[in-house]
Amino acid sequence: MPELDETDMRILRAMQADGSRTVTEIAEQAGISQSPCSRRIIHLQEMGVIRGKNVDLDRRRLGFNMLVVARVKLNKHDRPALEAFRREIRAIPEIQYAVLLLGGFDYHLHVVVRDIDHYQALVQDRLVTLPGVQEMESSVILDVVKKTTALPI
């Protein structure tokens, strides 16, 4: 883990709270001047602590009215089978989040779609045809109670 001091942490907290802040605003919140703040941000990026800045789009305003959790069980678990599956799911834009699990299912996918017809087509045309899929189970998300990428720093 990289060595970070309290000033670095204040910078990271400010950026994490609002990624659209200017360097001047971040520096002010961190209690340092703009130039050292800018140098620290560049250093944090070079170290890989800051990996990028994202825009949080409102999915509903863009017509994506449904979220689904899909759990997938594979019929093989060797490295080539896992890599083939991973490669394919990375190419499906509706899959926003995919994790490999221990337990009853192998993968947990968060999928965003316009409606149930969109999801049905995605399942039939793409998901069940993925390499190695043995079983799939889906749940529709009714309400997002908490959504954050913020780390508790």
More confident residue, 17 or 115: 115
Please tell me the total count of domains within the chain: 2
Q: What's the pTM? A: 0.84
Say which CATH number the domain at 20 has: 1.10.10.10
pLDDT at 140 over 90: yes
pLDDT at 55 over 80: yes
Amino acid, res. 134: Q
Q: Is residue 1 in a domain?
A: no
Q: Is residue 39 in a domain?
A: yes
Q: Is residue 83 in a domain?
A: yes
Helices 34-46 & 23-30, crossing angle to 10 degrees?
Answer: 100
Q: Are 44 and 12 in contact (CB under 8 A)?
A: yes
- What's the pLDDT score for residue 56? 87
| Residue 90 in tokens | 């990375």
Give the residue numbers spanning the domain of 111.
Answer: 60-141
pLDDT above 90 as % of the chain: 90
Torsion 54-60-65-69 (CA) sign: positive
| Residue 110 in tokens | 């968060």
Torsion 121-125-131-135 (CA) sign: positive
pLDDT tens track for 92-126 = 999 999 999 999 999 999 999 999 999 999 999 99
Whether 132 and 93 share a structural domain: yes
pLDDT at 1 over 70: no
Average predicted confidence (pLDDT) for the chain: 95
**Distance between CA atoms of residues 131 and 7, nearest Å:** 47
- State mean pLDDT over 8-16: 96
Q: Is residue 121 in a domain?
A: yes
Q: How does DSSP classify residue 56?
A: -
Banded model confidence at residue 19, pLDDT cuts 50, 70, 90: confident
Say which CATH number the domain at 86 has: 3.30.70.920
- What's the pLDDT score for residue 82? 93
* Residue closest to 34 by CA, chosen among 61, 14, 51: 14
* Residue closest to 113 by CA, chosen among 65, 69, 71, 56: 65
Torsion 102-103-106-112 (CA) sign: negative
Whether 84 and 125 share a structural domain: yes
